[in-house]
């Protein structure tokens, strides 16, 4: 499991309304499992605000849980949990195989609100705890919650697994016991089987910030107590089924709780929640755009500038300079009597509509009155991606109208021909860009170690030879770090039988010598309307060198895109210099991307992975129109679970945080965080920069439509 | 010496953040400009009347363009606005630090660069009453961008009432005015605007509500 680039934490000021109104049983409280709920160790039917992303750290009885929870839809919650159990003996009292005495466990939960609350009807939710992990926390439940007035909520439910382990009143089928070896597969053979027990509780919102709670727990804590009998207890003593506690909403984003559990233990929890939908500065705090300049009346037929010597050159220079004032770079311009084609490089605005809107106003101020049609194109590494065409009269007429009026008047184009043969603007090519800075590479939530990291310095440079041609390189040197620590416990065990295409990552992190992160020559280009291409050659990534080719079909107004990628690569030497090893593989995928609307986006890749295994990856993301993304993916290939090793198949969670959301200032920077199951050899893909879909998509109609309101910002 | 300095620069690069020549490099280090307008001296925060008077005088002498004085209470900020562009009945008025206010007949229809900006407005009916100095009711619409950059509209029902006659004398403005008030209600949001309207129907002085984050802005024409 790794996290690429640390998340920004400092800027995450959040506004989640902390009203506790009984709308669809929403709560800002989290329980000890880090899932939305007003009780302590027991679940409820409550949900968090739609889209809320929260992180909860809780501790009691020798167990610390860190849980990341996302309210996927208003009625569906997903959680990922990393637990550290001190002195835990797996298998109810067996020897602890872990030298440092702490057992680390990862688990996933899903809960769905089957019934929303009515006037008399309680809200009802069904939930699965630890449904694809090792099953340590495996339990299922059906729970009902009813609010009485604005402050009081009553909860009652029935549970299986852990939640059926104390004082069960019935049994449904038989449930396999014990912790599952390598985990990673849905534990369907256990769901809703075995002893059933009842649990319940009550929560009372005393003030806007403070709430009290009491519950009856149906979890006997057999695992933690070692063999189920108290004398063998190695973690804590469960003396009572009753738990009591309170939580306090410190600020809009922070909630803390304190509890007295099982008649013997004190528990604490802290939750930090944030709402991707609300930005600290709605609409952004960028400085004002230039206003539209009106043409003098009757001037539009004056074509004198076409015949004036030198006029066109000075126009170009003026356009380039004025665009630069808006943070936009002119890649090329073609002026005809009444039309202008302008190709931009947008290095500032994360919302493309804003870039196009600012460019349109610049053109209204700089171009001769006879130019009536503007076509403003966007680029990625010199490759035209999408263009918006508008009339200058509309720009003048609709400056103070709602942005939707302008949207109805513009046309989007993905035609490459419009830009063919355009001379690049002087100074754009060739050009050299470089940067030097620190880097941190984190690996968190390993089965062996909660946090590992390398810190060092990285020098990177791009040489843009000509439009579409990029020579790119990056060298880094580690200063300190422990990513190369030898594995112990589970992550080293059962490595599977596949070629080691990813699992020897540690060997790439050894030593402090400078290493080449990548060194590539890439060519981006258009193969016609709707078609895009990329070829990248060289040292593609940390572990592989070779050639990578990709084509993408993406009509400018389509929510669907199709792509194909073919790579032939050799595994690089562990020292990450110029040598390669003798493992080579042809790998590639066909991909489909689809924007379902409503903020949901899907991607499917089918093909051959690095170990030569065949299979498919399915990814589903919830996308917020300010750039936030929270998603999950799974990869299943024709490798058996045994051959794959722990985790059984590759899966992970990915989160994208746009920096503009936190700072309020337009910037294209963002943080991508990937929480992956163990880095294994099955279902592993090549990492290559500049994949086309993300590069092209933002400049196309479906994406620009979502945030078109920024055209006039 | 040079070597030493280079090493120091290099160390700064590595310790603080990246350095280089990429065009997006330094964007994120620009902080939010809370001071929409020029703030006063460091200690007091607000600008003294004397400072304002001097600024007005200097501005009037420095340009022939129409000028106005703007004050935002909530941001404790004062600025001279210069009309930098017109588009039909709309004028764009800018500050020296690149924030703009769009006015029509002295009424705000948009702002840019203040954060939580008014992106566009429908004020035809309100403006007609105010300009004619007549009481009545009208609908006002102000549009904003939300945290996801979606356009959201605030639709308010407003009651315009005529007040007494007054006289305004500031800068190059010296005119009789009629005081007009506008009380608006849009669900939970309630706000009040007031205008001093000259005989031509132009609001030479106005105090208007912009948005939840910005509160009210007061704009005083200095030269039309």
Identify which of A277, A291, A437 has the shortest CB distance to residue B100: A291
Per the domain annotation, does A675 fall within a domain? no
Count of domains observed in chain A: 4
Domain with A464, as residue range(s), is 430-488
Q: Return the pLDDT at A548.
A: 97
Work out the minimum CA distance from A693 to partner chain B, whole angstroms.
22
Q: Return the pLDDT at A281.
A: 85
- Number of residues that this document lists for chain A: 713
Q: A395 CB contacts (<8 Å, ≥6 apart)?
A: A292, A360, A361, A364, A374, A406
Helix (H) or strand (E) holding A147: strand A139-148
Q: A497 CB contacts (<8 Å, ≥6 apart)?
A: A643
Say which CATH number the domain at A386 has. Answer: 3.30.300
Quote the CA–CA distance of B224 and B202 in Å, as a whole number: 10
Per the domain annotation, does A397 fall within a domain? yes
ipTM of predicted complex: 0.85
Choose from A407, A427, A709 for mutation: most chain B CBs within 10 A: A709
The average pLDDT across A211-232 equals 77
The structure tokens listed for A129 are 């705890």
Using CA atoms, how far residue A552 sits from A525, A558, A602, A635, in Å, is 11, 13, 16, 22
Per the domain annotation, does A287 fall within a domain? no
Quote the CA–CA distance of A420 and A410 in Å, as a whole number: 22
Quote the CA–CA distance of A666 and A326 in Å, as a whole number: 11
pLDDT exceeds cutoff 60 at A523: yes
Could you say which of A583, A600, A617 is where a domain stops?
Answer: A600
pLDDT (tens digit, 9 = 90+) per residue, A383-424?
Answer: 999 999 999 999 999 999 999 999 999 999 988 888 888 888
pLDDT < 70 regions, chain B:
1-18, 22-47
Per the domain annotation, does A618 fall within a domain? no
The domains of chain B are located at 46-223
Q: Return the pLDDT at B122.
A: 96
Q: Return the pLDDT at A174.
A: 84
- Specify whether A116 is located in the same domain as A225: yes
pLDDT exceeds cutoff 50 at A232: no
Question: Pairing between strand A123-129 and A102-115?
Answer: antiparallel
Work out the minimum CA distance from B135 to partner chain A, whole angstroms.
26
Percent of the residues in chain A that have a pLDDT greater than 90, as a whole number = 61
- Specify whether A484 is located in the same domain as A531: no
pLDDT (tens digit, 9 = 90+) per residue, A437-456?
Answer: 888 888 777 766 777 888 89
Q: Return the pLDDT at B27.
A: 36
Choose from B84, B147, B155 for mutation: most chain A CBs within 10 A: B147
Task: List, as ranges, residues 383-442 from A with C-beta within 8 Å of B.
Answer: 396, 399-404, 432-438
pTM greater than 0.90:
no
When pLDDT is cut at 50, 70 and 90, the band that residue A145 belongs to is very high
Q: Return the pLDDT at A686.
A: 94
- Specify whether A314 is located in the same domain as A438: no
Phi, psi of A105 (to 5 degrees): -135, 145
Q: Return the pLDDT at B44.
A: 42
3-state DSSP assignment of residue B148: coil
- Specify whether A360 is located in the same domain as A384: yes
Per the domain annotation, does A688 fall within a domain? no
Are A394 and A361 spatial neighbours (Cβ–Cβ below 8 Å)?
A: no
- Specify whether A90 is located in the same domain as A239: yes
Selection from A118, A117, A202 nearest residue A157 by Cα = A202
CB contacts < 8 A, A to B, total 165
Could you say which of A274, A295, A315 is where a domain stops?
Answer: A274
Q: A530 CB contacts (<8 Å, ≥6 apart)?
A: A414, A553, A554, A555, A556
More confident residue, A432 or A481: A432
- Specify whether A72 is located in the same domain as A150: yes
* Residue A337 C-alpha from the chain's centroid: 47
- Specify whether A457 is located in the same domain as A423: no
When pLDDT is cut at 50, 70 and 90, the band that residue A498 belongs to is confident
DSSP designation for A30: B
pLDDT exceeds cutoff 50 at A183: yes
- Specify whether A115 is located in the same domain as A244: yes
Residues of chain B positioned with their CB less than 8 A from the CB of A275? 147
More confident residue, A421 or A686: A686
Q: Which residues pair with A520 in a beta bridge?
A: A472, A538
Cis amide prior to A430 (ω within 30 degrees)? yes
- Specify whether A407 is located in the same domain as A519: no
**Measured between CB atoms, does A167 come within 8 Å of chain B?**
no
- CATH class, domain B46-223, is mainly beta
The average pLDDT across A559-569 equals 97
pLDDT exceeds cutoff 70 at A565: yes
Task: List, as ranges, residues 461-500 from A with C-beta within 8 Å of B.
Answer: none
In this structure, of A212-226, A297-311, A366-380, the range with the lowest mean pLDDT score is: A297-311
Per the domain annotation, does A413 fall within a domain? yes
Per the domain annotation, does A4 fall within a domain? no
- Specify whether A476 is located in the same domain as A378: no
- Specify whether A158 is located in the same domain as A64: yes
Are A47 and A77 spatial neighbours (Cβ–Cβ below 8 Å)?
A: yes
Q: Give the relative orientation of helices A352-366 and A311-325 as an angle to the nearest 10 degrees.
A: 140
């Amino acid at each position: 499991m790794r996290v690429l680039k640390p998340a920004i934490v400092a800027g995450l000021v959040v506004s989640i309304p902390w009203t506790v109104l009984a709308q669809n049983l929403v709560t800002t409280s989290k329980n000890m499992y880090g899932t939305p709920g007003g009780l302590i160790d027991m679940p409820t039917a409550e949900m968090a605000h739609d889209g809320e992303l929260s992180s909860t750290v809780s501790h009691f009885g020798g167990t610390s849980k860190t849980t990341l929870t996302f309210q996927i839809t208003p009625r569906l919650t997903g959680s990922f949990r990393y637990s550290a159990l001190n002195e835990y003996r797996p298998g109810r009292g067996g020897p602890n195989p872990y030298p440092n005495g702490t057992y680390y466990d990862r688990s996933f939960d899903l809960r769905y609100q089957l019934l929303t609350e009515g006037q008399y009807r309680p809200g009802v939710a069904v939930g699965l705890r630890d449904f694809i992990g090792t099953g340590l926390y495996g339990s299922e439940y059906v729970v009902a919650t009813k609010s009485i007035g604005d402050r009081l909520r009553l909860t009652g439910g029935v549970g299986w697994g852990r939640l059926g382990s104390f004082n069960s009143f019935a049994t449904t089928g038989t449930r396999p016991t014990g912790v599952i070896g390598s985990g990673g597969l849905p534990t369907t053979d256990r769901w809703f089987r075995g002893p059933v027990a009842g649990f319940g509780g009550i929560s009372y919102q005393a003030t806007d910030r403070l709430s009290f709670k009491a519950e009856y727990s149906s979890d006997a804590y057999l695992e933690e107590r070692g063999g189920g009998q108290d004398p063998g207890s190695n973690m804590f003593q469960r003396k009572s089924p009753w738990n009591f506690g309170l939580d306090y909403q410190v600020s809009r984003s922070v909630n803390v709780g304190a509890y007295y559990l099982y008649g013997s233990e004190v528990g604490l929890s802290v939750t930090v929640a944030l709402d991707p939908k609300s930005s600290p500065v709605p609409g952004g705090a960028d400085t004002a755009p230039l206003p539209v300049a009106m043409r003098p009346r009757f001037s539009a037929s004056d074509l004198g500038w076409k015949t004036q010597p030198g006029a066109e050159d000075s126009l170009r220079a003026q356009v380039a300079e004025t665009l630069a004032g808006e943070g936009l770079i002119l890649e090329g311009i073609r002026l005809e009597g009444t039309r202008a084609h302008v190709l931009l490089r947008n290095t500032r605005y994360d919302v493309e509509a804003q870039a196009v809107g600012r460019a349109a106003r610049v053109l209204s101020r700089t171009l001769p009155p006879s130019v009536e049609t503007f076509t403003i194109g966007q680029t990625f590494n010199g490759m035209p991606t999408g263009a918006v065409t508008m009339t200058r009269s509309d720009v003048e007429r609709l400056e103070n109208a709602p942005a939707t009026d302008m949207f109805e008047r513009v046309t989007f184009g993905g035609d490459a021909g419009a830009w063919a043969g355009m001379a690049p603007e002087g100074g754009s090519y060739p050009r050299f860009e470089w940067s030097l800075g620190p880097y941190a590479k984190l690996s968190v939530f390993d089965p062996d170690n909660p946090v590992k990291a390398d810190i060092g310095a990285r020098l990177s440079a791009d040489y843009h030879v000509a439009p579409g041609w990029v020579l790119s390189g990056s060298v880094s040197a580690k200063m300190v770090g422990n990513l190369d620590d030898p594995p112990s416990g589970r992550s080293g065990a059962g490595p599977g039988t596949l070629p080691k295409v990813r699992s020897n990552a540690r060997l790439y992190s050894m030593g402090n010598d400078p290493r080449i992160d990548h060194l590539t020559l890439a060519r981006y280009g258009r193969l016609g309307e709707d078609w895009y291409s990329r070829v990248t050659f060289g040292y593609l990534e940390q572990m592989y060198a070779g050639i990578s080719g990709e084509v993408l079909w993406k009509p400018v107004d389509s929510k669907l895109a199709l792509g194909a990628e073919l790579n032939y690569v050799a595994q690089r030497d562990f020292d990450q210099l110029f040598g390669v090893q003798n493992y080579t593989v042809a790998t590639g995928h066909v991909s489909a991307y689809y924007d379902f609307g409503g903020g949901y986006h899907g991607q499917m890749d089918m093909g051959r992975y690095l170990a030569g295994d065949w299979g498919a990856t399915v990814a589903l993301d919830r996308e917020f129109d300010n750039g936030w993304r929270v998603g999950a993916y799974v990869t299943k290939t024709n490798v058996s679970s045994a051959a794959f090793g722990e985790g059984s198949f590759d899966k992970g969670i990915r989160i994208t945080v746009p920096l503009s959301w936190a700072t309020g200032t337009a910037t294209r920077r963002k943080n991508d965080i990937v929480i992956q199951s163990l880095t294994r050899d099955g279902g592993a893909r090549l990492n290559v920069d500049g994949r086309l879909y993300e590069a092209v998509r933002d400049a196309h109609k479906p994406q620009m439509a979502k945030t078109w309101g920024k055209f006039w910002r | 010496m040079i070597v030493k300095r280079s090493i120091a620069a290099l160390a700064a690069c590595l310790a603080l953040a990246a350095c280089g020549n990429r065009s997006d490099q330094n964007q994120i280090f620009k902080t939010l400009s809370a001071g929409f307008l020029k703030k006063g001296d460091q200690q007091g925060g607000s600008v003294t009347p004397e400072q304002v008077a001097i600024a007005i005088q200097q501005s009037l002498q420095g340009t022939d363009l129409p000028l106005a004085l703007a004050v935002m209470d909530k941001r404790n900020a004062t600025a001279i606005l210069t009309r930098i562009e017109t588009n039909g009945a709309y004028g764009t008025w800018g500050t020296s630090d690149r924030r703009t206010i769009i006015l029509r007949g002295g009424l705000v229809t948009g702002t840019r660069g203040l954060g939580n900006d008014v992106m566009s407005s429908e004020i035809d009916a309100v403006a007609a009453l105010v300009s004619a100095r007549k009481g009545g009711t009208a609908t006002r619409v102000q549009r904003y961008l939300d945290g996801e950059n979606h356009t959201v509209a605030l639709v308010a029902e407003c009651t315009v009432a005529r007040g007494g006659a007054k006289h305004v004398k500031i800068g190059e403005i010296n005119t009789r005015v009629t005081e007009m008030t506008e009380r608006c209600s849009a669900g939970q949001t309630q706000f009040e605007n007031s205008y001093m309207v000259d005989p031509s129907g132009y609001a030479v002085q106005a105090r208007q509500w912009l948005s939840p984050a910005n509160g009210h802005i007061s704009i005083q024409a200095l030269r039309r």
